[in-house]
Amino acid sequence: MNDIVIHVENLGKRYRVGQLEPYKTLRDTLVNAVVAPVHAVTSVLHGRPSTTDGSRSDNTIWALKDVSFEVRQGEVVGVIGRNGAGKTTLLKVLTRITTPTEGYAEIRGRVGALLEVSAGFGHPEFTGRENIYLMGAVLGMKRAETDRKFAEIVDFSGVKTYLDTPMKRYSAGMRMRLTFSVAAHLEPEILLVDEVLAVGDAAFQQKCLGRMGEVAQGGRTVLFVSHDMGAIQNLCERCILLEDGRIRNIGRTRDIVNEYLTTSLAISNVPLAERRNEQRRDATLIYTSIEFQNSRGQKLSNLSSGEDTSIVLDYLCKDTQKLEDVKILYTIKRMGENIVALDTELSKNFEEIQGKGRIICNIPRLPLMPGYYSLDIRSYSKRIITNHLYDGVAFYVKEGPFFDSGLMPPDSEARTLVDHSWVLEEG
Amino acid sequence: MTERDNVKQGTDAILVPTITIRPPRGWVPINFGEVWAYRELLYFFTWRDIKLRYKQTLLGAAWAVIRPVLMMVVFSVIFGNLMKVPSEGVPYPLFNYAALLPWTLFAEGITRCSNSLVEDATLIQRVYFPRLVKPMASILAPVVDFAIAFVIFIGMLFYFGYPLIITMLWLPVFLLLTMVTALGVGLWMSAINAQYRDVRYALPFVVQLWLFVSPVVYSSNLLSGPLQVVYGLNPMAGVIEGFRWALLGTDPPTSLMTVSVIIVVVLLISGAYYFRRMEKIFADVI
ipTM of the complex: 0.78
The pLDDT score that the predictor gives to residue B188 is: 93
The pLDDT score that the predictor gives to residue A197 is: 57
Buried b (16+ CB within 10 A) or exposed e, A178-197: bbbbbbbbbebbbbbbbbbb
The pLDDT score that the predictor gives to residue B13 is: 41
Q: Tell me if chain A has a CB within 8 Å of the CB of B3.
A: no
pLDDT at residue A21 greater than cutoff 60: no
pLDDT band (50, 70, 90) for residue A329: very high
Chain A residue whose CA is closest to B122: A121
Mutate which of B1, B9, B19 to test chain A, going by most A C-beta atoms within 10 A? B19
Within-domain flag for B3? no
The pLDDT score that the predictor gives to residue B178 is: 96
Residues of B with Cβ-Cβ distance to A74 under 8 angstroms: none
Contact B48 A134 (CB under 8 A): yes
CB neighbours of residue A387 within 10 Å: 20
Half-sphere exposure of A118 (CA within 13 A, CB side): 10
Residues of B with Cβ-Cβ distance to A2 under 8 angstroms: 9, 13
Contact B48 A138 (CB under 8 A): no
Note the pLDDT tens digit of each residue in B164-179. 999 999 999 999 999 9
Round to whole Å and give the CA distance between B68 and B149. Answer: 7
Within-domain flag for B225? yes
pLDDT at residue A209 greater than cutoff 80: no
Average of per-residue pLDDT values in chain A = 81
Q: Where are the domains of chain A?
A: 11-61, 65-265, 270-398
Bridge-partner residues for A377, per DSSP?
A330, A389
Q: What is the CA radius of gyration of chain A?
A: 25
Closest CA relative to residue B10, chosen from B21, B19, B1: B1
Q: Tell me if chain A has a CB within 8 Å of the CB of B41.
A: yes
For chain A, the distance separating the N- and C-terminal CA atoms, rounded to the nearest angstrom, is 71
pLDDT at residue A359 greater than cutoff 90: yes
Contact B21 A107 (CB under 8 A): yes
Q: Based on the structure, what is the number of domains in chain B?
A: 1
Contact B21 A106 (CB under 8 A): yes
CB neighbours of residue A92 within 10 Å: 27
Q: What is the DSSP letter of A83?
A: T
Residues of A with Cβ-Cβ distance to B40 under 8 angstroms: 137, 142-143
| B100, B68 contact by CB (below 8 A) | yes
The pLDDT score that the predictor gives to residue A247 is: 92
- Show Cβ contacts of residue B4 under 8 Å, excluding neighbours closer than 6 positions: none
The pLDDT score that the predictor gives to residue A17 is: 62
Round to whole Å and give the CA distance between A129 and A136. Answer: 11
Q: Which of A257-266, A357-366, B7-16, B97-106 has the lowest mean pLDDT?
A: B7-16
pLDDT at residue A51 greater than cutoff 70: no
Contact B198 A106 (CB under 8 A): no
The pLDDT score that the predictor gives to residue A106 is: 92
Q: Is the dihedral of CA A132, A178, A221, A13 positive or negative?
A: positive
Q: Which of A190-194, B33-37, B57-61, B168-172 has the lowest mean pLDDT?
A: B57-61
The pLDDT score that the predictor gives to residue B175 is: 96
If you average pLDDT over residues A220-246, what whole number do you get? 86
Torsion of CA B20, B22, B27, B29, to 10 degrees: 10
Within-domain flag for B16? no
If you average pLDDT over residues A164-177, what whole number do you get? 84
Round to whole Å and give the CA distance between A308 and A45. Answer: 65
Round to whole Å and give the CA distance between A350 and A331. Answer: 18
Q: Tell me if chain A has a CB within 8 Å of the CB of B11.
A: no
CATH assignment of A65-265, among 3.40.50.300, 3.40.50.11750, 3.30.720.200, 3.40.50.620: 3.40.50.300
If you average pLDDT over residues A101-112, what whole number do you get? 88
A270-398 has CATH 2.70.50.60 classification: yes
Residues of B with Cβ-Cβ distance to A101 under 8 angstroms: 23
Chain B residue whose CA is closest to A7: B20
Q: Tell me if chain A has a CB within 8 Å of the CB of B285.
A: yes
Q: Tell me if chain A has a CB within 8 Å of the CB of B128.
A: yes
Within-domain flag for B24? no
pLDDT at residue B55 greater than cutoff 80: no
Chain B residue whose CA is closest to A24: B196
pLDDT at residue B262 greater than cutoff 50: yes
Percent of chain A surpassing pLDDT 90: 23
The pLDDT score that the predictor gives to residue A28 is: 66
Question: By CB neighbour count within 10 A (0-12 exposed, 13-18 middle, 19+ buried), where does A133 fall?
Answer: buried
Contact B18 A143 (CB under 8 A): no
If you average pLDDT over residues A358-384, what whole number do you get? 89
Round to whole Å and give the CA distance between B74 and A259. Answer: 75
Q: Which of B55, B125, B197 sits opposite A125 (nearest CB)?
A: B55
Q: Which of B16, B198, B281 sits opposite A108 (nearest CB)?
A: B16
Domain hosting B244: range is: 30-285
Mutate which of A138, A139, A186 to test chain B, going by most B C-beta atoms within 10 A? A138
Residues of A with Cβ-Cβ distance to B52 under 8 angstroms: 123, 125-126
Round to whole Å and give the CA distance between A263 and A204. Answer: 31
Within-domain flag for B261? yes
Q: Which of A2, A26, A106 sits opposite B198 (nearest CB)?
A: A26
Average of per-residue pLDDT values in chain B = 87
The pLDDT score that the predictor gives to residue B3 is: 38
The pLDDT score that the predictor gives to residue A41 is: 54
Q: Tell me if chain A has a CB within 8 Å of the CB of B280.
A: yes
If you average pLDDT over residues B59-83, what whole number do you get? 91
Round to whole Å and give the CA distance between B18 and A363. Answer: 56
Note the pLDDT tens digit of each residue in A134-166. 888 888 788 888 999 999 999 988 888 888 998
CB neighbours of residue A100 within 10 Å: 26
pLDDT band (50, 70, 90) for residue B54: confident
Round to whole Å and give the CA distance between A333 and A261. Answer: 10
How many A-B residue pairs are in contact by the CB < 8 A criterion?
Answer: 114
Contact B196 A26 (CB under 8 A): yes
CA distance B243 to chain A (A): 35
Q: Identify which has the larger pLDDT, A282 or A164.
A: A164
Within-domain flag for B205? yes
The pLDDT score that the predictor gives to residue B9 is: 40
SS3 call for B222 = helix
Chain B residue whose CA is closest to A108: B18
CB neighbours of residue B271 within 10 Å: 20
Within-domain flag for B135? yes
| B232, B259 contact by CB (below 8 A) | yes
Note the pLDDT tens digit of each residue in B190-232. 988 888 888 888 999 999 999 999 999 999 888 877 888 888 8
Q: What is the DSSP letter of A96?
A: T
Q: Identify which has the larger pLDDT, B46 or B281.
A: B46
